[in-house]
């Protein structure tokens, strides 16, 4: 693996960093409205940094996995950054999925307006108990054959972006008697379909973001065969195809927040005096800075290696699980240290650290909790599949 970045990528990285610094972070104090999103996306388009993950034929930059990760870290220094560049979850993962797995008809109907920012999407897989959470074999949502297509019944929750979404990428069991990896199928369900109901936004720690974290109900929802992504029984495989690279981009976005947390805390420690000297002169503070820098550096190398493997054609299931566990836990520790270094200021609303702290906790749960990924990693090692 060559650790040198292409000069063009370095230039693009620096332009994204400057855009986030000069345009996005100052906008954090403004009310989060559709008008603000449109304004920032317009500026990103004019800056030539819009849609880094999208194919060029859809107005994106057509970048590979490594380049995307490099840019996502810079965009992630603000929660508004990925929104401005149109590479925030869940639309980013859904666009990537549709670009590579959808039919021409599906791309024209859903991908093009999604890319253009005219509509939003959500990803409906997780269910409340006793349905599927970390174990997809517990999925209770069913899609049964009917004349002309399928009828879906079930309840999903934590469908991020569900409120106001135009369609839901939905996973439902189509053959409960098949083996565990071929029971489910992926459907594109328009949210104005009779029987589809947005129930509520689930109250969560932190902010909701665009569209919230929705609970959605499917009651005799009819969709045609043309709504299927891939083939019948491909749902689990396609979910993994979507989630593999998405875990890497999640990691890089959060590493941008971790970098900013380190910078905020270090800048404060350079100025604040206690017990006769600057905080940065106290060994306990120096060690917190060092530990955070070490973990961020290790996280970046880990994700970049997985991105490189993905570009070489690897499925990176093992690598992405390792990244997800390490980075999610490292980011939480880094933000926690930053809050500790800033003391009372760190838990106040005068810096974004307390917001980062609340939002980061969920990172150890979504896209697979650390415990499940550890189980998968261990199984791979035991079987010699790594």
Give me the mean pLDDT over the 12-37 stretch: 96
240 confidence band (pLDDT: 50, 70, 90): confident
The answer to whether residues 223 and 152 belong to one domain is yes
Average per-residue pLDDT for the chain:
94
The answer to whether residues 268 and 298 belong to one domain is yes
The answer to whether residues 183 and 263 belong to one domain is no
Model pLDDT for residues 150-180, shown as the tens digit of each residue: 999 999 999 999 999 999 999 999 999 999 8
- Whether 110 is in a domain gets the answer no
The whole-angstrom separation of Cα 176 and Cα 137 is: 9
* CATH number of domain containing 40: 1.10.540.10
β-strands 228-229, 142-146: how paired? unpaired
The answer to whether residues 191 and 154 belong to one domain is yes
Give me the mean pLDDT over the 196-213 stretch: 91
- Whether 34 is in a domain gets the answer yes
What per-residue confidence (pLDDT) applies to 100?
86
What per-residue confidence (pLDDT) applies to 129?
94
β-strands 121-124, 167-173: how paired? parallel
55 confidence band (pLDDT: 50, 70, 90): confident
SS3 string, the chain, reads CCCCCCHHHHHHHHHHHHHHHHHHHHHHHCCCCHHHHHHHHHHHHHCCCCCCCCCHHHCCCCCCHHHHHHHHHHHCCCCHHHHHHCCCCCHHHHHHHHHHHCCHHHHHHHHHHHHCCCCCEEEECCCCCCCCCCCHHHCCCEEEEECCEEEEEEEEEEEECCCCCCEEEEEEECCCCCCCCCCEEEEEEECCCCCEEEEEECCCCCCCCCCCEEEEEEEEEEEEHHHEECCCCCHHHHHHHHHHHHHHHHHHHHHHHHHHHHHHHHHHHHHCEECCEEHHHCHHHHHHHHHHHHHHHHHHHHHHHHHHHHHCCCCCHHHHHHHHHHHHHHHHHHHHHHHHHHCHHHHCCCCCHHHHHHHHHHHHCCCCCHHHHHHHHHHHHHHCCC
- Whether 108 is in a domain gets the answer no
Rg (CA), the chain: 21
Q: Which two tokens stand for residue 381?
A: 């090692």
The answer to whether residues 200 and 319 belong to one domain is no
Judge whether residue 383 has pLDDT over 80: yes
- Whether 285 is in a domain gets the answer yes
The answer to whether residues 266 and 212 belong to one domain is no
The whole-angstrom separation of Cα 303 and Cα 309 is: 10
* CATH number of domain containing 203: 2.40.110.10
124 confidence band (pLDDT: 50, 70, 90): very high
- Whether 209 is in a domain gets the answer yes
The answer to whether residues 259 and 365 belong to one domain is yes
- Whether 98 is in a domain gets the answer no
The answer to whether residues 52 and 33 belong to one domain is yes
The answer to whether residues 59 and 174 belong to one domain is no
CA-based end-to-end distance of the chain? 18
What per-residue confidence (pLDDT) applies to 96?
86
Which of 88, 109, 140 finishes a domain? 88
* CATH number of domain containing 337: 1.20.140.10
The answer to whether residues 133 and 191 belong to one domain is yes
Which of 233, 265, 282 finishes a domain? 233
pLDDT > 90: percent of the chain: 84
Which of 88, 106, 134 finishes a domain? 88
What per-residue confidence (pLDDT) applies to 244?
72
Domain count, the chain: 3
- Whether 105 is in a domain gets the answer no
The answer to whether residues 69 and 172 belong to one domain is no
What per-residue confidence (pLDDT) applies to 315?
86
Judge whether residue 386 has pLDDT over 80: no
Give me the mean pLDDT over the 223-229 stretch: 98
What per-residue confidence (pLDDT) applies to 18?
98
- Whether 204 is in a domain gets the answer yes
Q: Which two tokens stand for residue 200?
A: 């509520």
Residues contacting 280, CB < 8 A, separation 6+: 266, 269, 270, 286, 289
Nearest to 341 by CA among 292, 278, 268, 281: 268
Give me the mean pLDDT over the 284-297 stretch: 98
Give me the mean pLDDT over the 75-96 stretch: 93
Q: Which domain holds residue 128?
A: 121-233
- Strand pairing partners for 142? 153, 173
What per-residue confidence (pLDDT) applies to 221?
98
The answer to whether residues 319 and 367 belong to one domain is yes
Give me the mean pLDDT over the 313-318 stretch: 90
What per-residue confidence (pLDDT) applies to 3?
85
Give me the mean pLDDT over the 96-107 stretch: 92
């Amino acid at each position: 693996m060559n650790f040198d970045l292409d000069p063009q990528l370095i230039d693009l990285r620096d332009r994204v960093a400057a855009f986030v610094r000069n345009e996005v972070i100052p906008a954090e104090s403004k009310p989060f409205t559709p008008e603000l999103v449109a304004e920032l996306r317009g500026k990103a388009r004019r800056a030539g940094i819009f849609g880094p993950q999208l194919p060029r034929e859809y107005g994106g930059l057509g970048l590979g996995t490594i380049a995307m990760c490099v840019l996502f870290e810079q965009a992630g220094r603000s929660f508004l950054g990925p929104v401005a560049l149109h590479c925030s979850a869940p639309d980013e993962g859904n666009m990537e999925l549709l670009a590579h797995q959808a039919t021409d008809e599906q791309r024209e109907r859903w991908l093009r307006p999604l890319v253009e920012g005219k509509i939003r999407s959500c990803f409906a897989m997780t269910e409340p108990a006793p349905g599927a959470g970390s174990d997809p074999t517990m999925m209770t949502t069913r899609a049964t054959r009917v004349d002309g297509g399928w009828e879906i019944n079930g309840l999903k929750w934590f469908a991020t972006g569900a409120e106001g979404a135009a369609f839901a990428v939905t996973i439902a069991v189509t053959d409960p008697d098949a083996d565990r990896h071929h029971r489910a199928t992926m459907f594109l369900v328009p949210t104005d379909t009779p029987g589809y109901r947005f129930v509520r936004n689930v109250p969560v720690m932190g902010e909701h973001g665009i569209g919230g974290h929705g609970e959605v109900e499917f009651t005799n929802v009819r969709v045609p065969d043309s709504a299927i992504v891939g083939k019948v029984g491909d749902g689990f495989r396609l979910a993994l195809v979507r989630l593999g690279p998405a875990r890497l981009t999640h990691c890089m976005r959060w590493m941008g927040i971790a970098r900013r947390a380190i910078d905020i805390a270090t800048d404060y420690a350079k100025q604040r005096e206690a017990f006769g000297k600057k905080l940065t002169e106290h060994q306990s503070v120096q060690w917190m800075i060092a530990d955070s820098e070490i973990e961020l550096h290790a996280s970046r190398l880990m994700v970049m290696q997985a991105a490189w493997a993905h570009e070489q054609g690897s499925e990176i299931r093992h690598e992405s699980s390792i990244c997800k566990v390490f980075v999610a836990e490292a980011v939480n520790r880094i933000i926690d240290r930053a809050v500790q270094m800033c003391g009372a200021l760190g838990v106040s609303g005068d810096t974004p650290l307390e917001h980062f702290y609340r939002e980061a906790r969920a990172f150890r749960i979504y896209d697979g909790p650390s415990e499940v990924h550890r189980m998968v990693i261990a199984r791979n090692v035991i079987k010699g599949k790594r």
